């Protein structure tokens, strides 16, 4: 089958076989251009020219897990740890609102210092002070906790499954279970959150076959938001000597998922911008419609080191916002107004 025919099928049926996805992942030259052009067109048709900005608040760098790729892993004794207190988190959310953000993303390592009550209290306080959508990105919890956060006012939840290859998952996530992660994602969906999930590109040992399977799993989970980023080796982790993930495969995965879930929200991730100075621009031109700038103080930004070389680490939140707005305008796009709920979620509701 030719790439042109595969793209046509993707546009009409929103589903592809694993082999078809693999062919798209390996596309080169004109075929590759056509994939990106088609994804950009589908993005425009289904979610328009608005690019929505999300204010990212990384509120704790403590983590009880030990993921092989992540700089926040508990075995990294050199990691700088911090926890923001409740009122401080609420203040940053208010500041984000004043800067124009209508969604805040509360992200942290898996830090049980914040229990059900404290997180519910943070969510309620933010919701009663400013009119923003709240996205949680705090990892695996119990059904009861997810439900309590939703009842307290959380709207969305992001949690990547990282890799659908269970053998690799087990290898890189000691003490964790793939099955539990998928169960959590299903709970989150059933509780009525907008669900965000995705995976890492370029974990050592990962194949094109695995990536095609990852793409199919995002489709199967019926994600409203899709986060895909290249793996970047962190010097204080067991994967320090591994090769970094491919920007090209990241862009292709974004493009393919835009075709399979045309009305999803897809960010051009910070990791993509870290490996390629024009990475976020390229992402926005092949299917992405979201950017997630950090709104924290510099003193915290520096300490939340998932991977080295993160962009914007020395820029204050206002500067980042201005910079990203000019990127969006330079691409002929518009900064989104309002909360920018996933259209996929709206349609399903």
Site for ligand 5AD in 229-258 (CB under 6 A): 229, 231-232, 234
Judged by CB, which is closer to ligand 5AD: 187, or 307? 307
Q: Is 138 in the site for ligand 5AD (CB under 6 A)?
A: no
Backbone φ and ψ of 290, nearest 5°: -140, 145
Considering only 54, 125, 160, 173, the residue that binds ligand 5AD (CB under 6 A) is 160
Residue 93 CA to residue 106 CA, distance in Å, equals: 9
Site for ligand 5AD in 45-104 (CB under 6 A): 69-70
List Cβ neighbours of 17 (8 Å cut-off, separation of 6 or more).
none
Residue 156 contact partner, candidates ligand 5AD, ligand FES, none, CB within 5 to 8 A by sort of partner: none
Judged by CB, which is closer to ligand FES: 196, or 293? 293
List Cβ neighbours of 2 (8 Å cut-off, separation of 6 or more).
none
Query: Measured from the CB of residue 47, what is the shortest distance to ligand FES in angstroms?
Result: 21
Site for ligand FES in 314-333 (CB under 6 A): 315, 319-320, 323-324
Query: Measured from the CB of residue 293, what is the shortest distance to ligand FES in angstroms?
Result: 6
**Residue 227 carries which DSSP code?**
E
Is 286 within 8 Å of 255 (Cβ atoms)? Answer: yes
Residue 232 contact partner, candidates ligand FES, ligand 5AD, none, CB within 5 to 8 A by sort of partner: ligand 5AD
Residue 323 contact partner, candidates ligand 5AD, ligand FES, none, CB within 5 to 8 A by sort of partner: ligand FES
Residue 41 CA to residue 36 CA, distance in Å, equals: 9
List Cβ neighbours of 219 (8 Å cut-off, separation of 6 or more).
15, 257, 260, 261
Which residue in 310, 285, 286, 288 sits closest to 300, CA to CA? 310
Q: What distances in angstroms separate CA 108 from CA 60, 115, 267, 300, one per listed residue? A: 5, 13, 18, 12
Cβ atoms < 10 Å from Cβ of 153: 15
Residue 42 CA to residue 47 CA, distance in Å, equals: 8
Query: Measured from the CB of residue 232, what is the shortest distance to ligand 5AD in angstroms?
Result: 4
Judged by CB, which is closer to ligand FES: 63, or 320? 320
Q: What distances in angstroms separate CA 175 from CA 67, 98, 224, 238, 326, one per listed residue? A: 9, 41, 28, 16, 43
Judged by CB, which is closer to ligand FES: 145, or 316? 316
Q: Is 11 in the site for ligand FES (CB under 6 A)?
A: no
Q: Is 162 in the site for ligand 5AD (CB under 6 A)?
A: yes
Query: Measured from the CB of residue 144, what is the shortest distance to ligand FES in angstroms?
Result: 38
Q: Is 91 in the site for ligand FES (CB under 6 A)?
A: no
- Total residues belonging to the chain: 349
Residue 247 contact partner, candidates ligand FES, ligand 5AD, none, CB within 5 to 8 A by sort of partner: none
Instruction: Compose the 194-223 pattern: x for residues touching ligand FES by CB under 6 A, - for all others.
Output: ------------------------------
Question: 284 by DSSP, 3-state: which?
Answer: helix
Which residues of this chain interact with ligand FES, rule CB under 6 A? 293, 312, 315, 319-320, 323-324
């Amino acid at each position: 089958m030719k790439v042109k025919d595969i793209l046509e099928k993707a546009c009409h049926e929103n589903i592809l076989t694993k082999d078809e996805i693999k062919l798209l992942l390996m596309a080169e030259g004109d075929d590759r251009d056509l994939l990106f052009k088609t994804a950009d067109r589908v993005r425009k048709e289904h979610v328009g020219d608005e690019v929505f900005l999300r204010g990212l608040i990384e509120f704790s760098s403590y983590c009880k897990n030990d993921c092989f790729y992540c700089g926040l892993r508990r075995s990294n004794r050199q990691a700088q740890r911090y926890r923001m207190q409740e009122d401080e988190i609420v203040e940053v959310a208010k500041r984000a609102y004043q800067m124009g953000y209508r969604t805040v993303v509360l992200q942290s390592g898996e830090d049980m210092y914040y229990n059900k009550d404290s997180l519910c209290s943070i969510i309620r306080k933010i919701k009663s002070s400013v009119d923003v959508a709240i996205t949680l990105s705090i990892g695996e919890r119990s059904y009861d906790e997810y439900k309590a956060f939703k009842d307290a006012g959380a709207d969305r939840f992001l949690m990547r499954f990282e890799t659908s290859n269970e053998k690799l998952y087990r290898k890189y996530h000691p003490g964790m279970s793939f099955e539990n992660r998928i169960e959590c994602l299903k709970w989150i969906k059933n509780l009525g959150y907008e669900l965000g999930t995705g995976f890492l590109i370029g974990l050592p040992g990962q194949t094109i076959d695995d990536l095609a399977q990852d793409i199919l799993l995002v489709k199967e989970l019926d994600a409203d938001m899709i986060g895909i980023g290249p793996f970047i080796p962190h010097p204080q982790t067991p994967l320090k000597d591994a090769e970094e993930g491919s920007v090209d495969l990241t862009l292709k995965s974004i493009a393919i998922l835009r075709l399979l879930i045309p009305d999803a929200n897809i960010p051009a991730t910070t990791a993509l911008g870290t490996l390629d100075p024009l990475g976020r621009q390229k992402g926005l031109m092949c299917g992405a419609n979201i950017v997630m700038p950090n709104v924290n103080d510099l003193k915290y930004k520096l300490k939340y080191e998932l991977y080295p070389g993160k962009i914007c680490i020395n820029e204050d939140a206002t500067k980042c916002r201005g910079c990203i707005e000019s990127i969006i305008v330079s691409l002929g796009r518009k900064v989104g107004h309002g909360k920018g709920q996933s259209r996929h979620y709206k349609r399903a509701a």
